Structure 1
Amino acid sequence: MAGSILLEREYEIDVLSRRMTSALNGLGSLILIEGEAGVGKTRLLEEARALARAGGARTLTAYGSEMERDFAFGLVRQLLEPALVSAPAELRADWFSGAARAARPVVDGKQGSQTSSGDFAVLHGLYWCVANMASTQPLALLIDDAQWADAPSLRFLMFLVHRLSDIPVAVVVASRPGADAATARSLDVLGVDAATTRIRPRPLSLDSSGLLLNEAFRDERPAEVPFIEACHDVTGGNPLLLEQLARVMRAEGIEPVRENIGRVVDLGPQAVSRYVAGRLAELPEAAHRLARAVAVLGDGVRPDVAARQAGLSPEDTVQAAQHLTLVDIFSMESVARGNPLEMRLKFTHPLVRATVYGTLDPDVLMSAHIRAVQVLEATGAEAEKVGAHLLSIPPAGSERAVTVLRRAADDALLRGSPDAAQVHLMRALAEPPPREQRLDVLLQLAHCGQLLNDDRAIGPLREALTLSASPHQRAMIRAQIGSALFFLSRTTEALQIQRQGMREAPDENTRGLLAAGMLSTLAFEPNQPALFAYTDELERLPPHDSAGAGARDSMIAMVRTWQGRPEGIARARRAGRNEAFMAMPSNELFLALGVWHTLITADDEEAQASLENAIADAHRDGSVRALTAAFNHRGWGRLHHGHLDDAEADLLSAMRAVEEANVHVGRAFNGAFRAELHIARGRYAEAQAALEWGRLAPGNPGAVYHLLMSQARLLRLRGQADRALQTALQAGRSFASCGGDNPALIPWRSEAAVNLHRLGRVDEARQYAEQELVSARRWGAPRALGRALRVVGLAYGGTPKGLAALEESWTVLSASSARIEQIDSGLAYGAALWRATGEVSAQEVLREAITLAHACGSAHLVRVGIDALKKTGARPRRPTVSGPDSLTPSEARVARLAASGASNREIAQELFVSVKTVEVHLTNSYRKLGVRQRAELQEILAD
């Protein structure tokens, strides 16, 4: 195996060489090697290791293992721990500096404080730990057998791959078919990223199979062609199987001639097992015992631990390991040169380990795992390692087993892995735990499921409800069940449990939280006549400063916003200023959606400040739910303000969170918001792709109308007015089914009006436009009012009424922050004014709209404006933007931090972005402010 010749891999090695060179020079990348077992993935990883070392990189290696797939960040710990443990204290402190401090619980469970799953801070901390390590020496992270990777490590790889282009890190991942559905989905997400190159080594051709066989039989006679063909057919050209088949035949004295084709067919499917069995038969009993012990304990075990498992002395263990290595069953990896007892025992290939493990009959195997529990506990192994063997044996009512499993779950949560904690807690329940512990285990298990947006939270919560005697705890359990069901789009069940909770709730805070949960569920379920009656009832309750009252206000505000009733705005402001509510754990802060939704729709600047705080809290607390909602809404608000680059960064972050954590509730919103962003930039194909991505949300995500609205706009811009009209009307019906009637959210009437006008149905167009204007004036926000006025103006054309509406639209939007709508209205008003009057002032309106489009970063709208200006006979001037007001929010934050003396690395860590992103923002800021260095920033920004 290790010594086999490498054939037909020139293309793969060339790709590895080019990507490795590029990565180690600063443009990081991920290479995913995919293929069947034995096709040569591990050999390609060895080539990658050699290339990395030749390029001066530090190489870190990890191997997926069936025994360790439930370890918290198991692969990440394999990669990082050896380097971190062996590094000098000063260097290790540098690697853990800044944001990387949050990574310490992953590699040292005794460091830091309790973290929560999907913890953005932990993932970001791991990124910075890797980036800090790479700043001292380029890194190559090599991972084999990723089909057995633990879920948190895969989440980190998905997090890292989006940021690789900024750091000198090459990640090479090898995987084969056979992963479970969740792992396969994560590997697919990795595989389609722009930073990823996929390599799929093919089986060997007949000619190369002949070369390999002749190499194996080189001391005998050349292989005959029919013999080669038979070997190729029976192995499918798989290099490992070919090699093992040749070894077995040589060992059994089978010559490579035509007459032995029948033996080839008999041996082929069993080549590896026959080889292993044959080699073990030549070895002493100690080698057999050690091989079985390592097969049970798993690769990477210390010889002293394997010795206890096998019942061997240290000396016999070393000798047995050497025997197994000589016959290519074991490979040994040294972690301390010169000391054999500090070696690690590992099989040469997972198929070899599987073969040895498969020879153990069920009774022997169970006894071996029971012994492994005893051995690992006696040698001070981590609870997770002991727990892995408890997972392999049936429950036995052992209180000690429950203690170990709960400790393993605690360690997993400490490291930010509820996935692993969930597995151990479920096994602890099956043991089962003592009655007095069962409720605690159930609640912790439910907590893990909620953090993972997993339906497995619901069963434990329902059982906990039957065990709890506390009215407050019972009400909160019902709130948690309702929340879990809501996030799984099981709204009917959620409403039922929330109503029961309301009847039991013992205090104002709990009632408020349950009421907010009910409103959110009702609001996202179409055709719920109880929604508005219930909202009216809650609205009559007196204000309160509890978190529950703030949550209730937030959801009342959202309902009123959908109805287009402006009294919801004041309630949203009150909820946003409720300190107890806004200080809730970020995993529950999704109830602040009502605040953000309302204030953004009302063009209220308080929304952005609230979102900044929520995102900072979610970074610390690690709630993927909160991050998805907050990034979605901040991106949506920034889109309205015309900060397109910042909006795109936020919406991409939300999209990645949805994919990494499977938070489906945010998917449809994100797809619609990203489509609007792409439309503003004239990227229609990307807009369609975003809409299709958004439609992948299962069940009823409650945002179908947003998707339909964006689809209608896109169809119109592509010249399909009739289809656009039908889609706009469908959006209106969908919105109305949820009680919606606010043009600031879903301007379906104005979209219908524009398309009706294009289809020559002018009277109908004017009717729809006038109806939307009435609703927009009632709501009062400039963005909705300006758009409605623009559509009225377009519907009435160059008439005095049409020009007056366009002028009012331009005036209203010019005094607002709704810059995208302002650009559209400026282009419409300038063009209409020129056609009607030929006044020079029309050209000035168009020039202002063009300048604004340039400041927003929309080259598409700049081109549209220039085309309109040319039609007036004017010569377009090159648009420019400058001064502090021209900075985007992200550019301004970076510039202010740079002016205060913070380094690029410090800025990146504080803002949870990469150094490259900071460099781009600073470059843009220097250009807009007309400065060349940091020292000049403070004076300009102070003014």
Structure 2
Amino acid sequence: MTVSPPSGSPIGRDDELDRLRHLLHDAMDGAGRSVWIEGEPGIGKSALLNSFLTEAASLGCHIRAGAAEEFGRRIPLHVMLDCLGAEPGAKDPELREIADLLSCGAPAGRPADPVAAATERLLGLVDRLSAGRPLVVAVDDLQWADESSILLLHRLSRLAQRSPLLVVGACRPVPCRPDLVTLKRGLTSSGAEVITLASLPPAAVTRLAAELTSELTGAGLLGDRLGRAAELAGGNPAYLREMVDALVREDKVRRQEDTAELDGETGGGLPRTLTDAISDRLGFLSTGTTGLLRSAALLGPAFSVTDLGAIVGRSALELTAALEEATAAGVLTESDVLLAFRHPLIRQALYERPPAGLRLALHLQAARALADAGLAVERVAEQLLAALRGPGAVPVVDGWTVDWLLRAGRRLVSRAPEDAAELLRLAVAYLPSDDPRRESLEVILAPALVLLGHRDEAVRLAEKVLAATGDPARAAEMSWTAGWAMTDGHHHEAARRTLSRALRAPGLDDVWAARLRAMLARSAVADGDLAQADAATRRALAEADRSGDRPAAAAALYAAGIVQVHRGDLDAATDRLGRALAIAEQCDDPETHDLRLRLRQSRAYVLLVQERHADADLAARELLAEAERDASPSRLACSRILAAEVHYHAGRWNEAIAQLDAAAGADDLIPAADRRWLHGLAAVIAVHRDDQASAEAHLGAVPATGAGHAGAQYVPLARALLAERRDLTEEALAILTRLLDRTGTRPAYHRHIWLPTLLRLALREGDTRLARAAAKAGSGAAPHAGRWPAASLAAVAQHCAGLLEGDHATLTLAVDAYRAGGRPLQLAQTLEDTAVVLAERGDLRAARTAHAEASEVYTGLGATWDLLRADTRLRRHGLRRRRGPRRRAATGWDALTPAELTVARLVAEGRPNPDIAANLFVSRRTVEVHVSHILSKLGVRSRVEIAGEAARRFAGTELKAVSAWAG
């Protein structure tokens, strides 16, 4: 075989080439080896082998190379004769003799077993060739090799162990032949090197796509859309080449100056020539496996074996052989508990192979099969939506779909509200106005709209049904839904009018009376009318008890718990919320599901206020686990914000930021008060970390003023801190003074996050009147003693009093209280103030000790601005820390936080996100955010690259022992 010099080393295969080079040099030194190269079709085995053989030839090695052919398997020693050049017309007489041994026209004296004789002669030939200078024997496409050649390769591998000989075989994982399995096992047991070619990393895909595009269009740069399209090839060079060729050939790539870009008008489908080419490449799979994969493609990029079995009408056992073949071939891979197409391009090609009309019919058939099998309603909905909104689809809902929505619609609303709303909208639009099923579907649709945050639309739909229906129960349900939407949208007066009117309607039964009154209580408490909330709660509980309606009882207890929170009686609130949650967990309907999430969120908040930090942390994790499983986007976002606040107060700011980043994805769906909570808390952390740009961005996302729950205080606090950071002390004081004026008779909790800052700034400006007012507000927590947590209230009062009087002993009491309450930021701020007071009194030794501890806590939080402020305040008294704060690097491994390092270690070990989440006892979404930050900071684009970077950085270190770098 003549080796064609490549234009350069295969892109993205530097590590594999290095391994082959090391083995070659060992062979040249007399320590021969065997190499087994394995990888799916098109992954680059031949290109790697060709590049390596060219280098080996340039180093003076003998090269003997060949490739097996699919139709040569029946010819003994076919590939090895070709590899070693033994043919009838060979110039070397020994090679001609070996070829003659196997030819039909051999002389009468040929041996009884010519294959065995030829094998021995070939072994001797290789032995003599390697005696003169190093020899490389390489065979590509071993999956098609004949059995005799495979046996000869095995014997050559033994010869290599005592000769300057390198034996290289390249093979696909399928077809999986027993003789190849035996050969591989024998090679590896004798020390052969196994090189498995994985998909190209994203950077290599981009570079290869750019080179291919440059060859075809002359453009040197790759556009964003074309780059994203290249990712569909899943890192397979052959698929990528075929895709770029097809796109250019079908004029779907435009050159814009020096950039090649995918035509903006191009649809989502693949060029037909590309679909055909990829389908042809899958010809190595059996017909049954290819057909099964086409059915799997209907289910999306990832699918369960159960779902696949349902739509093809076969058991998991019957699917085993085909799925194992597809997995071995690299077409499928495991993704958590699912199977997934390794290359999105293959899945799309399989999916688009049938005509569009047939695909739509197949989706409808799949939906019915999944429903008949009793599988998850969201899977059925996905198939229906694919049939109704796919290319060429006519959004006409058939009778079966309408009937299924009537049966399963409420379940679908709780599991997948977005899909439910889209399907229900289509069904309502399809049915004529006089069809009785239309109103039933509208009743199911309205709660889905509330869950999705489309409250105004839900109210309009509810009012439409109310105006037309003659069914008292339906009217009550629509009034309840309208009240729910209005309450969530903070239209409390309208909600109370709607609910009160419904309660006066004739024919109202106890069940709906209880539910409506519970919603009325919820609206009243949100509007601050605790008296009406109390009255409505008591009547709702009585009516729920008479009717036995658990959702109403849970909702009434929820309202009662919130009333107690507003009154500051947290023990009573915990009791009522716990009882409500226990009842709600026994219910299974969409409305109660949302209520259950609200209950979990309220309970976690109360536990946080009670300073039961371990319980609050566990409650927040349980909330997130349930919300990530079933919640609407808006409810999930609100759950994340609560979890972020729990992390913030515990000093886990990186985890808080991860949750806030995730919640920001649903920013347009959550209520205004929760948006202020989200962006206010994120801005506070950003200012503490001296990231003024991020703080400004978050503050710019919310109005300057606005009412809301206690979380709304973070917005003015962030504005004040940012003003102080910029030496605008008067502006900071004005903001915090307005906050002080609004406290009134509200519970004292949350004052600790801003009151000492106000007092410190007032003293700095010499405003003793304002400082005394702030101290008085701090001591005003006393009336709440016994209801709000004494430790935090005492700490706020002592911190303010100690600052005002310059009394380090009182400040020390606050330090102890904050330390006991588990408030690291407030602890450090009080230590900083204590250090300043001690320095002013001349006790520099004690001041230095307090300053050192404050600095240590600030450093752990990453509170760069607080460190700078503390250093500046103490520097006036001649106190300096021995080492200044080391800023975390912006990129690279040094930029990773301890939490991100831990996640990176687990990713490098090959752990999937669910396993990492379970290992660290965090939510899956938190892990996803950490992985996203790791990819960005390391400048890589895949988990495989994270593992590669980890291996290079920590070479020689067992990954499982790398926990040291995570702290």
Aligned to 1:619: 628
Aligned to 1:423: 425
Aligned to 2:584: 580
Change in CA separation of 1:893 and 1:536 when aligned onto 2, cut-off 3 Å: farther
Moved more, 541-550 or 619-628: 541-550
Aligned to 2:857: 852
What letter matches 1:496 in structure 2? R
What is the CA–CA distance in structure 2 between the aligned matches of 1:755 and 1:715, rounded to whole Å? 11
1:742 aligns with 2:735: no
What is the CA–CA distance in structure 2 between the aligned matches of 1:851 and 1:90, rounded to whole Å? 60
Aligned to 2:494: 493
Map 1:540-551 onto structure 2 (within 5 A): 546-551=550-555
Aligned to 2:142: none
1:773 aligns with 2:775: no
Map 1:382-461 onto structure 2 (within 5 A): 382=387, 389=394, 417-428=419-430, 431-435=432-436, 437-454=437-454, 455-461=456-462
**Secondary structure of 2:445's match?**
helix
What letter matches 1:756 in structure 2? A
Q: Assess if the C-alpha contact under 8 Å between 2:221 and 2:260 holds in 1.
A: no
What is the CA–CA distance in structure 1 between the aligned matches of 2:766 and 2:427, rounded to whole Å? 66
What is the CA–CA distance in structure 2 between the aligned matches of 1:747 and 1:582, rounded to whole Å? 38
Q: Assess if the C-alpha contact under 8 Å between 1:555 and 1:591 holds in 2.
A: no
Q: 1:644: Cα distance to partner?
A: 0.7
Q: Assess if the C-alpha contact under 8 Å between 1:406 and 1:425 holds in 2.
A: no
Change in CA separation of 1:613 and 1:760 when aligned onto 2, cut-off 3 Å: same
Q: 1:648: Cα distance to partner?
A: 0.4
Q: 1:939: Cα distance to partner?
A: 13
Residues 373-411 of structure 1: CA distance to partner in whole angstroms, max 9, x if unpaired? xxxxxxx994567997577xxxxxxxx977666769989
Moved more, 672-681 or 726-735: 726-735
What is the CA–CA distance in structure 1 between the aligned matches of 2:576 and 2:688, rounded to whole Å? 29
Question: Structure 2 length normalisation: TM-score?
Answer: 0.53
Q: 1:792: Cα distance to partner?
A: 2.6
Aligned to 1:826: 831
Q: 1:674: Cα distance to partner?
A: 1.4
**Structure 1 spans left out of the alignment, 5+ residues:** 1-5, 28-39, 55-59, 65-78, 112-126, 143-299, 301-332, 345-379, 392-399, 881-886
Q: 1:443: Cα distance to partner?
A: 1.1
**Secondary structure of 1:828's match?**
helix
Change in CA separation of 1:864 and 1:905 when aligned onto 2, cut-off 3 Å: same
**Structure 2 spans left out of the alignment, 5+ residues:** 1-213, 236-247, 271-277, 314-332, 361-384, 887-895, 935-945
Q: 1:807: Cα distance to partner?
A: 0.9
Residues 496-543 of structure 1: CA distance to partner in whole angstroms, max 9, x if unpaired? 223345567978886665455434434544xx5x33453477479799
Q: Assess if the C-alpha contact under 8 Å between 2:514 and 2:552 holds in 1.
A: yes
What is the CA–CA distance in structure 1 between the aligned matches of 2:311 and 2:673, rounded to whole Å? 33
1:726 aligns with 2:739: no
What letter matches 1:854 in structure 2? T
Q: 1:594: Cα distance to partner?
A: 3.2
What is the CA–CA distance in structure 1 between the aligned matches of 2:789 and 2:513, rounded to whole Å? 33
Q: Assess if the C-alpha contact under 8 Å between 1:749 and 1:772 holds in 2.
A: yes
What is the CA–CA distance in structure 2 between the aligned matches of 1:796 and 1:517, rounded to whole Å? 49
Q: 1:492: Cα distance to partner?
A: 2.0
1:648 equivalent among 619, 642, 657: 657
What is the CA–CA distance in structure 1 between the aligned matches of 2:291 and 2:865, rounded to whole Å? 53
What letter matches 2:443 in structure 1? L
Aligned to 1:158: none
**Secondary structure of 2:690's match?**
coil
Q: Assess if the C-alpha contact under 8 Å between 2:874 and 2:880 holds in 1.
A: yes
Map 1:376-387 onto structure 2 (within 5 A): 382=387
Q: 1:623: Cα distance to partner?
A: 1.5
What is the CA–CA distance in structure 2 between the aligned matches of 1:569 and 1:341, rounded to whole Å? 58
Residues 387-438 of structure 1: CA distance to partner in whole angstroms, max 9, x if unpaired? 97577xxxxxxxx977666769989979852453243133145x12433x24
**Secondary structure of 1:432's match?**
coil
| Matched-pair identity in % | 17
What letter matches 2:626 in structure 1? D
What letter matches 1:912 in structure 2? R
2:648 equivalent among 639, 657, 661: 639
Q: 1:824: Cα distance to partner?
A: 1.2
Q: Assess if the C-alpha contact under 8 Å between 2:751 and 2:796 holds in 1.
A: no
Q: Assess if the C-alpha contact under 8 Å between 1:564 and 1:775 holds in 2.
A: no
Q: 1:636: Cα distance to partner?
A: 1.2
Change in CA separation of 1:725 and 1:557 when aligned onto 2, cut-off 3 Å: farther
Q: Assess if the C-alpha contact under 8 Å between 1:558 and 1:597 holds in 2.
A: no
**Secondary structure of 1:813's match?**
helix
Change in CA separation of 1:804 and 1:381 when aligned onto 2, cut-off 3 Å: closer
Moved more, 606-615 or 629-638: 606-615
Q: Assess if the C-alpha contact under 8 Å between 1:615 and 1:631 holds in 2.
A: yes
**Secondary structure of 2:611's match?**
coil
Q: 1:463: Cα distance to partner?
A: 4.4
Aligned to 1:484: 485
What letter matches 2:682 in structure 1? R
What is the CA–CA distance in structure 2 between the aligned matches of 1:895 and 1:685, rounded to whole Å? 27
Change in CA separation of 1:603 and 1:888 when aligned onto 2, cut-off 3 Å: farther
**Secondary structure of 1:791's match?**
helix
Matched residue count: 632
**Secondary structure of 2:268's match?**
strand
Aligned to 1:688: 696
**Secondary structure of 1:603's match?**
coil
Residues 478-510 of structure 1: CA distance to partner in whole angstroms, max 9, x if unpaired? 322111122333332112223345567978886
Q: Assess if the C-alpha contact under 8 Å between 2:673 and 2:709 holds in 1.
A: yes
What is the CA–CA distance in structure 2 between the aligned matches of 1:103 and 1:619, rounded to whole Å? 23
What letter matches 1:744 in structure 2? H
What is the CA–CA distance in structure 1 between the aligned matches of 2:308 and 2:720, rounded to whole Å? 47
Q: 1:676: Cα distance to partner?
A: 1.8
Aligned to 1:707: 715
**Secondary structure of 2:700's match?**
helix
Q: 1:906: Cα distance to partner?
A: 3.9
What is the CA–CA distance in structure 2 between the aligned matches of 1:782 and 1:775, rounded to whole Å? 11
Q: Assess if the C-alpha contact under 8 Å between 1:664 and 1:697 holds in 2.
A: no
**Secondary structure of 1:62's match?**
coil
1:808 aligns with 2:813: yes
What is the CA–CA distance in structure 2 between the aligned matches of 1:512 and 1:717, rounded to whole Å? 53
**Secondary structure of 1:417's match?**
helix
Aligned to 1:232: none
Moved more, 910-919 or 606-615: 910-919
Q: Assess if the C-alpha contact under 8 Å between 1:575 and 1:581 holds in 2.
A: no
Aligned to 1:760: 766
Moved more, 627-636 or 99-108: 99-108
Aligned to 1:159: none
What letter matches 2:862 in structure 1? G
Change in CA separation of 1:879 and 1:469 when aligned onto 2, cut-off 3 Å: same
What is the CA–CA distance in structure 2 between the aligned matches of 1:103 and 1:138, rounded to whole Å? 18
Aligned to 1:842: 847
Map 1:279-428 onto structure 2 (within 5 A): 336=353, 382=387, 389=394, 417-428=419-430
What is the CA–CA distance in structure 1 between the aligned matches of 2:439 and 2:304, rounded to whole Å? 31
1:591 aligns with 2:589: no
Change in CA separation of 1:939 and 1:770 when aligned onto 2, cut-off 3 Å: same
Aligned to 1:353: none
Q: Assess if the C-alpha contact under 8 Å between 2:799 and 2:810 holds in 1.
A: yes
Residues 447-503 of structure 1: CA distance to partner in whole angstroms, max 9, x if unpaired? 332233222222332344467777666544332211112233333211222334556
1:876 equivalent among 876, 882, 904: 882
Moved more, 615-624 or 647-656: 615-624
Which one has the largest radius of gyration? 2
Aligned to 1:238: none
